[in-house]
Amino acid sequence: MDRLHDFDDRVRAAACRALCGLAALAVAAPSGGAGGAGVLVPAAGAKARSRSTAAAAAVLTVGPQLYDRSLVAALREVGDRLRDRKVAVRREAAAGLLAAWRAACIAVQQGVLASVGML
């Protein structure tokens, strides 16, 4: 998270991209590792659709393993980059947070993530 406060705006933008991408993948992939909601990884989503209903339900009840309080704190830090001096950093932060929010909404809709965990 130190890279979010770097002097170089390209480093700050890349840090925003990386953290938001990690957050989107964390809510999309359950702790089973192989499947998931497939928000950002189309191959994993295709595997999840081809499984039997019982196996998919067993994977979905496990929940995300990467989604924790430290990731939420990192996303709050990315949110602070919405007030960055450089437009490119603000754009990357906004686009990344939007992608992470979209992934979380899809995960809640599919039952992978409880909405209580997002608050």
pLDDT tens string for the chain (119 positions)? 789 999 999 999 999 999 999 988 888 765 544 444 433 333 333 343 333 333 333 333 334 456 678 888 999 999 999 999 999 999 999 999 999 999 888 888 888 777 665 55
Q: Reduced to 3 DSSP states, what percent helix, strand and coil does the chain have, rounded to the nearest 5?
A: 70, 0, 30
Smallest Cα–Cα separation from 119: which of 72, 85, 84?
72
Put simply, whether the predicted model's pTM sits higher than 0.95 gets the answer no
- The b-or-e profile of 57-83 (16+ CB within 10 A means b, else e) is eebbeebbeebeeebeebbebbeebee
Residue 59, helix vs strand vs coil = helix
